[in-house]
Structure 1
């Protein structure tokens, strides 16, 4: 197994999202690895948790990364959040990511969960993506 590609994958995912014109049309520069402290924007995208499992085989080291990208909004309703989530998904699915280490074999949408955050007016959509990477 190799976890060595994790940082390169995260950087490439982040760059893909921040460089997508449709996403930035909605959220501007409000795409975060970790949301800033203090007052949060009313609509933003945030990279979230990741689970990684070994996917090495006889040809080399590899891993499957399941990672979450969240769209968070305090806007009434889910429509805007869903549009942003669709733009993020469109930007990432089958994207030709260039990594500083290793390579992406495939990048796929797995699932999404849209919900209202308990006891608040915040809406959150957590999308799970899976990336198969090689580290040779």
Structure 2
């Protein structure tokens, strides 16, 4: 197993989202690894947790990275959040990301969960993706 490509995957995912024109029209530059202190925009994207499992075989080292990208909004209703979630999914599903370390074999949408948080004042959509990486 190798966890070595994790930072490279995160950087590539961030760049893919930050450079997507549809997502940019919806959230601007509000794409964070961790939300900054202070007031946040009404709609933003946050890179979330990651779980990594070994996927090495006799040809080399590799790992399956299961990671979450969250869409968070303080706006009433889910409409704006769902539009941003669609843009995130479109930008990442089957994207041919180039990594600084390792080779991305596949990147696929796995699931999503939409819910109200913080006493129902905030809406959050967590999109989960699966990335298979060979770390040669």
Instruction: Give the alignment's TM-score, normalised by structure 1.
Output: 0.98
Q: Which moved more, 1:115-124 or 1:65-74?
A: 115-124
- Displacement of 1:130: 0.4
Tell me the residue number matched to 2:9: 9
- Displacement of 1:40: 1.0
Instruction: Give the SS at the match of 2:60.
Output: coil
> Superposed, which structure 2 residues align to 1:19-98 within 5 Å?
19-98=19-98
Task: Give, in whole Å, the separation in 1 of the partners of 2:13 and 2:29.
Answer: 15
Tell me the residue number matched to 2:109: 109
Aligned length: 136
Task: Give, in whole Å, the separation in 2 of the partners of 1:103 and 1:76.
Answer: 41
Task: Give, in whole Å, the separation in 1 of the partners of 2:65 and 2:93.
Answer: 14
Task: Give, in whole Å, the separation in 1 of the partners of 2:55 and 2:46.
Answer: 26
Instruction: Give the alignment's TM-score, normalised by structure 2.
Output: 0.98
Root mean square deviation of aligned Cα? 0.6
Listed as ranges, the gaps of 5+ residues in structure 1 are none
- Displacement of 1:125: 0.2
Task: Give, in whole Å, the separation in 2 of the partners of 1:73 and 1:18.
Answer: 18
Listed as ranges, the gaps of 5+ residues in structure 2 are none
Task: Give, in whole Å, the separation in 1 of the partners of 2:58 and 2:131.
Answer: 19
- Displacement of 1:120: 3.9
